[in-house]
Structure 1
Amino acid sequence: MEFNQVVRTKIRNIFKKRKEGDSFVEKFLKTIRIYAVIVFPFIIIAAFLETYIADMILNLFQ
């Protein structure tokens, strides 16, 4: 019984945790960093693949 209560408490605390003091500016800057590090490089890679690799594949079939 006690083990179940400990597990429930731990799970509840995971979802309850709220970072105090995170301002809108800090959250906005974190979002921009994630976008710059993860999303933007994928957009560049996708544009490169669409432009050059698609033309190479098309030329193979002609």
Structure 2
Amino acid sequence: MDGTKRTNIKPGLHVNIVLKEDQRTGTLTEGYVQDILTKSPTHPHGIKVRLETGEVGRVKEILPED
């Protein structure tokens, strides 16, 4: 699924995000979506979310559920 479309992102979804401080390196942070922060239906760099850990970043990958 596409991490640039808000309709694909739901609370509890398992994702990889890029934190603001990791944008230069592209380091991914894995977690579960708590809140969707982007209000627009799409964003070219990924929908901004808050993970259950409190970390905020843009969705780069939606991971398959086990």
TM bracket, shorter-chain basis: under 0.3
Q: Which has the higher contact order (CA 8 A, sep 6+)?
A: 2
TM-score when normalising by structure 2 = 0.15
TM-score when normalising by structure 1 = 0.15
Larger radius of gyration: 1
Query: If each structure's helix is expressed as a fraction of its own residues, which one has the higher value?
Result: 1
Query: If each structure's strand is expressed as a fraction of its own residues, which one has the higher value?
Result: 2
